[in-house]
Structure 1
Amino acid sequence: MNRLFEKIGILLVCLMGLIYSAQNITLIIAALIAVTVSSLAQVWAGRKAAWVLIACCAALCGIMPEMLNMMPLLMYDALWEKKPILLLPAAAFMIHPLNISRICFAVVGFAVAIIMFSRVSKLEKKVDTLQQMRDDAAENNLALRDRNEAITLAQDSEIHIATLKERNRIAREIHDNVGHMLTRSLLQAGALIVINKDEDMKEPLESLKNTLDTAMTSIRSSVHDLYDDSIDLEKSIKDSISTVDERFEVKLDMDTDSDMPGRIKLCILGVIKESLSNAVKHSNGDKIFISVQEHPAFYRLLIQDNGSCTKISQTGIGLENMQERARSAGGVINFTPSPEGFRIFMTIPKKNNAD
């Protein structure tokens, strides 16, 4: 828009010089040609067609001297095209004996065009700079927002880990302190019942023993729940994966409930760690897929790589460890070697692991 207003101002200066220097039909023709070429030059900015039009108009000064008065308008376009050399034909005709007033108006027009071009170009550079600053600020704001989100997630993760560690500590202290004291109290109550000869004390001692036994059962259940909650299975699996991510591209697919029993979590985590260790030692593949799924009646673990393996060693310590872990949780584990990859499939029924 600024360029359009500048062109209108230059055009008015050109028309003043043209009216003063010429009083015939060529005045209108020269003005129409110049306006048309200037408009096309702006539409075709940066194209060779615009350069050719400006050069042809400059050459017209030889046969139509009135065009010289319109050259400032085309000078403005040539400056925007960074091709002021296109007006050399017009400059060549200016050195010939012509109407002095026409030359003076042309020089004034050139000066006005150069000044306006300089002003508008500086203004547009400032606008571009401001636009760039605004874009940079928006980009920095987005980066800052992403960084803040990452920090928030990291803080939430740290809080979650700290909470799990605190639960584990509380469970351990309850087990080591309160649990042992209750066990000792139960033994003492049982001993008192055995050595008691007073029939009036028999029923109170039995009630005391039952109360202590109920408290012990409640403590065991609470400790068991705290310990189960203190194990973050997904994070533990990801930590194990991070130890081999330089060697393998590992994809993890998890779909489990948060109240999975702790012994099942430890079993699954132990099998995954053992399988990753075996993959590092024996697999010639570069990808591993791990899937942990919860079904209505059982938990399922699938681990598969893309290495070529046609047989397995039945005496391998790693495989024996995985089998022992599966048996300890009441589950079944199978190993399937093939040219397409080594596959580990384990299922653990829920009914054998109910709290």
Structure 2
Amino acid sequence: MRYFQNTGLLLIYCLFAVLYTDVNFIFIFCFLCALILGCSGFFVRSRNLRCLFSLLFLGAACLFPTFFCFFPIPVYILLREDLKPAAAAGILFYGYHFAFSPAADRLSLVFGIFAFLLTLLLQHHASSYETLSRQFHQTQDEGRENNLLLSEKNKTLLEKQDYEIYAATLKERNRIAREIHDNVGHILSRSILMVGAAKAVNQDTGLTPLLENIDHSLNSAMDSIRSSVHDLHDESVNLEEVIRSLIRDFSFCPAELEYDMGPEVPRDIKYCFISITREGLANIMKHSSASRVRVVVREHPALYQLFIKDNGDTAKLSSTIPDSGIGIKNMRERVGALGGTLQITTENGFKIFISVPKLQRRADL
């Protein structure tokens, strides 16, 4: 937009040449050429073509001196393209023509000098404006980038906070389960033993039904507490911490873990993945010649996945860990009970790939 403003202003100023030159066909032709050159300076994408058109316009003045009336247009384009030597040569050519041409008069020279001064001024302001515009857009881009980085960091902090809350909740559940087991469980156990002893030494037939009711109530309470403690303990198992613990304790060779699971993992999935990971790492220590192990635990929108891979000798592995082994059978039974699939391959190392679909019934587990 600023380019059209500047070239339009120069073109209007150049029309003042009607004061010192005749308006004829050549003048109109030169005006149209200057107009086309000004438009091409914006619409032509190639810098070389823009510069070539400007130089051709300057050269056409050798054949048609009327082109000198519109010299500020190509000079402005050359300055804009940072071809200052070519622009300076055009200005000197203009000055030489009006200084030594017998047809030139003082009025045209004065108008030409002011035209070039206006050209330099407009180019200077345009260059300053473009510099400020670039700095503004760069500042905007940096601001957007910083906002994206801050948003990502905030998201990471929130996820970390959610995980810490989840981990603290699991630890608290585990603590409560221990407290119930150690305190209430022992008290109930002692009460049951005392009631049993009272029943054994009781001689009064009238107290027998009462002691039976007390014994039944205490045993029912004990069963309920035992079930609650088991449920709390099962829910307090942190799958990521257990898997990482298994990886840390695996000293046979370097092992890496890629964990990408949500905080709420069904209980049966937890114990299935923990058991299979433990069995897979144990088999690697017993039978594999691997030097590196990779474990991937990942959650997808419709399924859970477990992937265990090593780089051991596949021929040795296939002979020492047959598909009919007890460990592999147990894995298949655990995965099959959850409706999942287990695949074992021996290409470029031994691989166990488990996929378990998310079932609606697990939402309540």
One fold, TM greater than 0.5?
yes
Matched, 1:220 2:219: no
Paired position in structure 1 for 2:313: 308
Paired position in structure 1 for 2:48: 48
The whole-number CA distance in structure 1 between the counterparts of 2:273 and 2:346 is: 28
Cα shift readout 1:58-79 (whole Å, capped 9, x = no counterpart) = 2233333322221112221111
- DSSP 3-state at the match of 1:311: helix
Conserved 8 A contact 1:229-1:262:
no
Displacement of 1:99 in angstroms is 2.1
- DSSP 3-state at the match of 1:66: helix
The whole-number CA distance in structure 2 between the counterparts of 1:223 and 1:265 is: 22
Paired position in structure 1 for 2:239: 233
**Are residues 48 and 179 of structure 1, via their aligned partners in 2, closer, same or farther at CA, if it must alter by over 3 Å?**
same
Cα shift readout 1:114-166 (whole Å, capped 9, x = no counterpart) = 11111122122222222222222222212211111111111110000000011
Paired position in structure 2 for 1:296: none
Residue ranges of structure 1 left out of the alignment (5+ in a row): 293-298, 347-354
Conserved 8 A contact 2:317-2:350:
no
Q: Which residue of 282, 289, 313 corresponds with 2:289?
A: 282
Conserved 8 A contact 2:272-2:335:
no
Conserved 8 A contact 1:167-1:227:
yes
The whole-number CA distance in structure 2 between the counterparts of 1:242 and 1:57 is: 78
Matched, 1:191 2:223: no
Which stretch shows the higher mean deviation, 80-89 or 198-207?
80-89
The whole-number CA distance in structure 1 between the counterparts of 2:37 and 2:335 is: 86
Which stretch shows the higher mean deviation, 177-186 or 255-264?
255-264
Which stretch shows the higher mean deviation, 78-87 or 217-226?
78-87
Q: Which residue of 111, 114, 120 corresponds with 2:126?
A: 120
TM-score of the superposed pair, with normalisation by structure 1: 0.78
**Are residues 192 and 288 of structure 1, via their aligned partners in 2, closer, same or farther at CA, if it must alter by over 3 Å?**
closer
Displacement of 1:43 in angstroms is 2.3
**Are residues 179 and 125 of structure 1, via their aligned partners in 2, closer, same or farther at CA, if it must alter by over 3 Å?**
same
* C-alpha RMSD of the superposition: 4.2
**Are residues 342 and 38 of structure 1, via their aligned partners in 2, closer, same or farther at CA, if it must alter by over 3 Å?**
closer
The whole-number CA distance in structure 2 between the counterparts of 1:300 and 1:65 is: 82
Paired position in structure 2 for 1:11: 11
Q: Which residue of 271, 274, 277 corresponds with 2:279?
A: 271
The whole-number CA distance in structure 2 between the counterparts of 1:39 and 1:286 is: 66
- DSSP 3-state at the match of 2:206: helix
Q: How many matched pairs? A: 332
State the one-letter code of the partner of 1:267: S
The whole-number CA distance in structure 2 between the counterparts of 1:345 and 1:11 is: 75
5 Å-filtered alignment, 1:71-90, equals: 71-87=71-87, 88-89=89-90
Cα shift readout 1:180-214 (whole Å, capped 9, x = no counterpart) = 11111111110111111111111111111111111
Conserved 8 A contact 2:258-2:295:
yes
**Are residues 206 and 140 of structure 1, via their aligned partners in 2, closer, same or farther at CA, if it must alter by over 3 Å?**
same
TM-score of the superposed pair, with normalisation by structure 2: 0.76
Paired position in structure 2 for 1:350: none
Paired position in structure 1 for 2:28: 28
The whole-number CA distance in structure 1 between the counterparts of 2:68 and 2:185 is: 107
Paired position in structure 1 for 2:58: 58
Paired position in structure 2 for 1:258: 266
**Are residues 30 and 277 of structure 1, via their aligned partners in 2, closer, same or farther at CA, if it must alter by over 3 Å?**
same
The whole-number CA distance in structure 1 between the counterparts of 2:192 and 2:319 is: 47
Residue ranges of structure 2 left out of the alignment (5+ in a row): 337-341, 355-364
The whole-number CA distance in structure 1 between the counterparts of 2:305 and 2:49 is: 71
Which stretch shows the higher mean deviation, 336-345 or 103-112?
336-345
The whole-number CA distance in structure 2 between the counterparts of 1:301 and 1:89 is: 75
**Are residues 140 and 277 of structure 1, via their aligned partners in 2, closer, same or farther at CA, if it must alter by over 3 Å?**
farther
Q: Which residue of 101, 109, 116 corresponds with 1:110?
A: 116
**Are residues 287 and 72 of structure 1, via their aligned partners in 2, closer, same or farther at CA, if it must alter by over 3 Å?**
same
Q: Which residue of 110, 114, 137 corresponds with 1:131?
A: 137
Matched, 1:200 2:200: no
* Identical positions, percent: 28
Conserved 8 A contact 1:251-1:290:
yes
Which stretch shows the higher mean deviation, 136-145 or 246-255?
246-255
Conserved 8 A contact 1:285-1:308:
no
The whole-number CA distance in structure 1 between the counterparts of 2:239 and 2:140 is: 45
State the one-letter code of the partner of 1:223: V
